[in-house]
Amino acid sequence: MLIKRPEDVRPSEITEPRVYAERRDFLRNSAGTAFALAAGAAFPALLASRSAQAAAGKLSFAGGSALSTDETPNSLKDITRYNNFYEFGTDKEDPARRAHTLKTDPWTVRVDGEVEKPADYHLEDLIKTSQLEERIYRLRCVEAWSMVIPWVGIPLAGLIKRFKPTSRARFVEFTTLYDPEQMPGQRSQVLDWPYVEGLRMDEAMHPLTLLAVGLYGKVLPNQNGAPIRLVVPWKYGFKNVKSIVRIRFSNTIPRTTWALSGPGEYGFYANVNPTVDHPRWSQSRERRIGEFFKRKTLMFNGYEEQVAGLYRGMDLRRSF
Ligand code: MTE
């Protein structure tokens, strides 16, 4: 990636240790109550309109997923001010400063390709409040840093079933909005726009795979990929495509942005793998944002037990 090498991270980018447990307990408790009240409501009902949401921004969701890590989440500050979102610039601070130009309401997602129910869906029709849940996941960036993020979203599998993929659907491709007016970074040639990522169908259907619409109990901030982004916790962060406007089902492997930009450096699978180094740096260790000492990177980012079966029989050095 053109993105910074791990050593380039400045000390000023490392933030204080955070107020973890307290905040999480608070969120869990309030989440439970709100969820009970709002269960069954549709996305717009819960927020009346997403502009009103911007003021309050709170989401209702079920907490306490067995799939959540019990590690302490990074602070909201870390999560919202240290971002990769090249549509708004290549520095970590750029998205927080510049992503206010993105208009997320109304938002439509085109679903097409190998599905029985292709359509343009309003976000409100795609995501029902009653299905929202909190999942606290590790995110391991290919640049050898990591965070723990309390996402709010829905499992992608449920949504895919609604679209009724045909028997020819073997891959799913996700595309970010292309609009250089709203996304000034797209005026530069740093990547081949729009940003595209993809998954194999069984990866997309895996229970860990999430479409996130919020974090820390609130609607996603623009810099984190509002209003809807992918979260696949056992893969390098670049698979987690932001601000999705299209979900396409295909029979052939999608051409993905980073694999196109550096085929020797970024593969389609992008599974976190400490035994396969990036050509320009080691992937064996990582720095958790907010911590000083590096920690070991875990196979599949610590989700080995859940996902290793997806890759049985594959050579993960070749299919990186
Ligand atoms: N999606 C788009 N559209 N553009 C990007 O530049 N960066 C990726 C991913 N999704 C990126 C993107 C990378 S490299 C990472 S590490 C994660 O977003 C970062 O997500 P976060 O900023 O919410 O932590």
Which of 260, 14, 222 has the alpha carbon at shortest distance from 98? Answer: 222
CA torsion, points 58, 150, 256, 140, in degrees to nearest 10? 150
- Most distant CA pair in the chain, distance: 51
Tokens of 123: 């976000």
**Atom number in ligand 1 closest to CA 185:** 6
User: What whole-number distance in Å separates Cα of residue 215 and Cα of residue 73?
Assistant: 11
pTM above 0.85, yes or no: yes
CATH superfamily, domain 17-311, is: Oxidoreductase, molybdopterin-binding domain (3.90.420.10)
Give the containing element (helix H, strand E) for 153: strand 145-155
Return the structure tokens found at 262.
């550096």
Q: What is the CA radius of gyration of the chain?
A: 18
Closest CA to 235 of 261, 204, 195, 260: 204
* Atom of ligand 1 minimally distant from the CA of 223: 22
Pairing of strands 119-122, 196-200: unpaired
**Residue 100: strand, helix, or coil:** helix
| Closest listed residue to residue 116, CA positions, set 157, 67, 161, 63 | 161
* pLDDT tens digit at each of 320 positions of the chain: 555 555 454 534 433 333 334 434 433 444 433 333 333 333 444 444 555 544 568 999 999 999 999 999 999 999 999 999 999 999 999 999 999 999 999 999 999 999 999 999 999 999 988 999 999 999 999 999 999 999 999 999 999 999 999 999 999 999 999 999 999 999 999 999 999 999 999 999 999 999 999 999 999 999 999 999 999 999 999 999 999 999 999 999 999 999 999 999 999 999 999 999 999 999 999 999 999 999 999 999 999 999 999 999 999 999 99
**In degrees, to the nearest 5, what angle opens at C-alpha 214 toward C-alphas 10 and 176?**
75
Nearest CA to ligand 1 atom 16: 237
In single-letter form, the type of residue at position 126 comes to L
3-state secondary structure of 126: helix
Which residue has a Cα nearest atom 19 of ligand 1? 84
Q: Is 97 left (phi over 0), alpha (psi -120 to 50) or beta?
A: alpha
Pocket of ligand 1 (CB under 6 A): 83-87, 139, 141, 176, 195, 224-225, 237-238, 240-243
Taking the centre of ligand 1 as the mean of its atom positions, its distance from the CA of residue 116, in whole angstroms, is 30
